[in-house]
Amino acid sequence: MKLNISKLTQYKFKEPKNKYLFIIMLLSIIIMTILLPTSFLRGSNIQSMASQFPEFGFLALAMMLAMITGGIDLSVVAAANFTGVVAAVILNSANTAGMPAGTAIFLSIIAVLGIAVLCGLFNGMMIAFVGVPPILATLGTQGLFLGLATVITKGYSIGGFPDAFMTIGNGVVLGIPIPFILFVIGAVLVALLLNRTKQGFNMYMLGTNPTVSRYSGVDNSKVIIKTYIVTALLAGVASIIMISRANSMRPGYGSAYLLQAILVVVLGGADPDGGFGNIPGLLMAIITLQVTQSGLNIMAFSPFFRKFMWGFALLLVMAINFIAQQYGDYKRVKRMKEQVAATAS
């Protein structure tokens, strides 16, 4: 098969920023392959990368949905902790009581999704009906959910799940890790939600301008509540992957994911002020982050250096975005001035 390069270069990205993201992603992969020629592009490394990022990828999907509506969800990790702890308790007690593994897993997943819906409903109602800004509402529920998780476990970690449950996080189908398959399904569903449904369209509208959205006959409260329910559901799925990968759950697990999720979402082209954000951009940002992280890991950089790198990358990307925007404005104004001068003379 011949690769038609001219066609490739003519391909237009729907979102203009995604062109740069694509270049950044390719660059990071190429750099890591050059620096680590023997270990980076090996099947085992790719497999481990594909099983590592989904638990955090789901949280990033959730964060992006909140940001599209102009909000933010600081409670995603806490909701994942809370639902994860409940699932862990159910699985653990079912295991010791000798319940069949299938029933226990079914029960725990139902419990996770049910509690996630309640968490999301609570967040959404605080924001939509009480009128608390999303950052404050989710700051409060973060404490609430994490507090409940801590109260349930008394601060200890809970382990001892049925073996069948572990396949969700560690299983492989045709060489593809199951968490990765779950993530692809999740990402496709979220993309469909955003691009093919009324709710998705309303979310972008709400994030761009809530007043206009309301006067166009959109029930903003309903849109917000639905958004935060989906957000919490995604956090719930993340928690299932988390506990089955680690075979245990403790409150506070994955607290570093909050910053990473925000970083990846902003990197992926979402605007904290709302109205922007798309799945292809987010996916490229997640791949970039995972590739860089895995490469730094193989090169034996400390986790502290990675923390430093993330902060640096976040600030750098946002600063470059700002400068590019300013430059674009400057060029536009200059062009307009030239046009005015041309018509005047």
Applying CB under 8 A, which of residues 135, 166, 181, 191 lies at the interface with another protein?
135
Applying CB under 8 A, which of residues 47, 150, 170, 248 lies at the interface with another protein?
150
248-249 and 176-177 strand pairing? unpaired
Site membership for another protein, residue 151 (CB under 8 A): yes
Cβ count within 10 A of residue 285: 25
Sign of CA dihedral 44, 52, 111, 63: negative
Interaction mask 266-305, another protein, x per CB under 8 A: x-----xx----------------------------x-xx
C-alpha angle 51-242-313 in degrees, rounded to nearest 5: 65
Nearest distance, CB of residue 344 and another protein, angstroms: 30
Interaction mask 61-90, another protein, x per CB under 8 A: -----------x-x----------------
Nearest distance, CB of residue 330 and another protein, angstroms: 15
At 172 the three-state DSSP class reads: strand
Nearest distance, CB of residue 325 and another protein, angstroms: 10
Q: Which is nearer to another protein, 214 or 306 (CB)?
A: 306
Q: Which is nearer to another protein, 109 or 317 (CB)?
A: 317
Nearest distance, CB of residue 43 and another protein, angstroms: 31
What is the Cβ-side half-sphere exposure of residue 279, based on CA atoms within 13 angstroms? Answer: 16
Cβ count within 10 A of residue 62: 32
Applying CB under 8 A, which of residues 147, 159, 171, 275 lies at the interface with another protein?
147
Local structure of residue 179 (DSSP, 8 states): H
At 177 the three-state DSSP class reads: strand
With CB under 8 A, what is the number of residues at the site for another protein?
Answer: 47
Burial 236-274 (b: 16+ CB within 10 A, else e): bbbbbbbbbbbbbbbbebbeebbebbbbbbbbbbbbbeb
Applying CB under 8 A, which of residues 61, 90, 119, 146 lies at the interface with another protein?
146
State the Cα–Cα distance between residues 19 and 42, nearest whole angstrom.
Answer: 27
237 to 256, contacts with another protein by CB under 8 A?
Answer: 255
Cβ count within 10 A of residue 137: 25
Site membership for another protein, residue 328 (CB under 8 A): no
Nearest distance, CB of residue 123 and another protein, angstroms: 10
Site membership for another protein, residue 329 (CB under 8 A): no
Applying CB under 8 A, which of residues 113, 118, 259, 298 lies at the interface with another protein?
259
Applying CB under 8 A, which of residues 5, 130, 174, 344 lies at the interface with another protein?
130
State the Cα–Cα distance between residues 82 and 130, nearest whole angstrom.
Answer: 23
**Nearest to residue 241, comparing CAs of 170, 147, 331, 324?**
170
C-alpha angle 203-192-226 in degrees, rounded to nearest 5: 40
Stretch that binds another protein, among 223-231, 235-243, 284-292, 309-317 (CB under 8 A): 309-317
What residues line the site for another protein (CB under 8 A)? Answer: 72, 74, 126, 130-133, 135-137, 139-148, 150-151, 154-155, 255, 259, 262-263, 266, 272-273, 302, 304-312, 314-315, 318-319, 322-323
